[in-house]
Structure 1
Amino acid sequence: MKILPAALAIGMLGLAACSTQTNDTSSSASGDPVKSEKPATTAPDGLKAVVINGALPYSTKNGDAWSGLAVDVLKAIQKEQSSDSASTELSFQEVSSVSEAQEALASGTANIVCGIGFSWERSKKINYTLPFAVGGMRLLTTADVDGTPESMKGKEIGVITGTIPAKLVASQLPEAVVQDFASPDEALAALKDGQIDTIAGGALWSKANMATIPGSRMVPDRPYGRSGIGCAVTHDNDGLLASGNLAIGQLLQGYVDGDEESTRIINASIGPDSPVGLEAETIATYYNSVLGTVTGVGKDE
């Protein structure tokens, strides 16, 4: 399925418009409402991205350099922003937990986060872009369990505080014993050291880290609570939301069309040769479904 660039752009901009939940208005002298002006692009200080170290396959730090799928998406958004102005700077603010990431967005010290799962509760405070991956909660375990509620009764599960998997454990595995960790690195260290034998995480995160835990496996076969993984901005940043949607849409379309750079970026993090190991056809099928829902453009033979 091929989608014309113009149609893609229209679809992305339409999505951005629909995502905005509030509009500021004031009254003119005649009493008619006058819509306040909002900036079309990000602030002059550019993209201030909040990132969590060890959040494979989305973001990880090697020395002073960041890498991962979320980082590559941020660079694509930076490129899209720079096409509208002389240059857009991309800076990273490292945090240790999801709750700290949310606080950074709320306070304005950061204006975007990528690699975050969609939730209806979070959508009250932030706007989500198009997803570039799909997640869900699976258990990374060295124990003889199958991940069902019955098998997890009375069993200890490590969770990362404030994450969607942590909430899913509470709702789907209510009889498990929960042990909280502040960051992905802390949870993995506890699993490696044998302090716990099961941790709950995003499906792709669990798969990306499975090779580092000898004798581990992922359960259950189907993840709990599947959700889209994308970027998020605050409700008052429509310009950045539009740029994010367009950049992600172009990246997804490039992968579907076999573009060399798009294919390299995606496959390096979640493709056949990555620790996640998804088949290219599986990725392309998902991206086609995402693009089809926002553009409404049929097949171009």
Structure 2
Amino acid sequence: MNIKKLVVLSLLVIQTTTLVLTLRYSRSKPVEGARFLNSTVVLVAEFVKLICCLLVILKTNEFNTASALGEIRREVIHKPIETLKIAIPSGSYAIQNNLLFIALSYLDAPTYQVTYQLKILSSAIFSVVLLRRKLNFLKWVSLILLMAGVALVQIRPDDYEEKDPTLRWYGLGAILMSCVSSGFAGVYFEKLLKRSNQSLWIRNIQMALFGTVFSGMACYYSDMDIISRDGFFQGYDGLTWFIVLLHAVGGLLVSCVIKFADNITKGFAASLSIVISSAVSYFIFNELNPSHYFVIGTATVLLSTILYSRPG
């Protein structure tokens, strides 16, 4: 593995694991007063991502403001059809990000991490449908193992006491819908990248622009009454701003994975993140009391992820 792939792998593992654990902690810890709103965090993260993308474009134009603005005007404003195409995956990502907050409000981090690997299944299905991609026998076997592993993780032993099973199923429903949204958005974005000569960072600017719009709509329609009463930044603290930055960095890291890494790197990153999240939840947060179903299911998901990432 070369240096660039190693750096991307390390950053992806750190970002994914830290985001999941901090999000789970922020949604489960007791707070005085109002807790921050999911919709506002997603909106602020999209805005931060937009600023970062604009700075990258400025750097690629050697910090010539006129040249950078000219590129944005030429590639974004003067190509409205190409720009509008990004609205579809951007809207899907906005839905996904809001659903992930809901899922982590009701699921422990390891269960979330393992179940979220079903996005591999949805991505595979959408790649076959949208990209006409053919999957070999090993990949189909790995997808079957993935579904079996996720199913095993959901089984609770007879002596397991659950506070409110309804809330857990609510979280599982949110993460399943998020997997579908993530798979569709990722494959559709890949399709646009392969059929366009626009740069990756211009596409990211378009994504962030629409992401800001869609996230703003989510704020307005779901939380405007609460925002009007208690303020947009209610419940924000240092941890909340850290989560905002992790969300923004995550979007940029995906771009780096597309450019510098491959499916093997993503597979190892996902596997390492699951292992680290489970260890932290068990030893530090005391949230995880793994049954044999969970251990076998997690091992099956890890195996399926690695098998699916193999070339061929």
Q: TM over 0.5, yes or no?
A: no
From the two aligned structures, give the one with the greater strand fraction. Answer: 1
From the two aligned structures, give the one with the greater helix fraction. Answer: 2
TM-score range, shorter chain: under 0.3
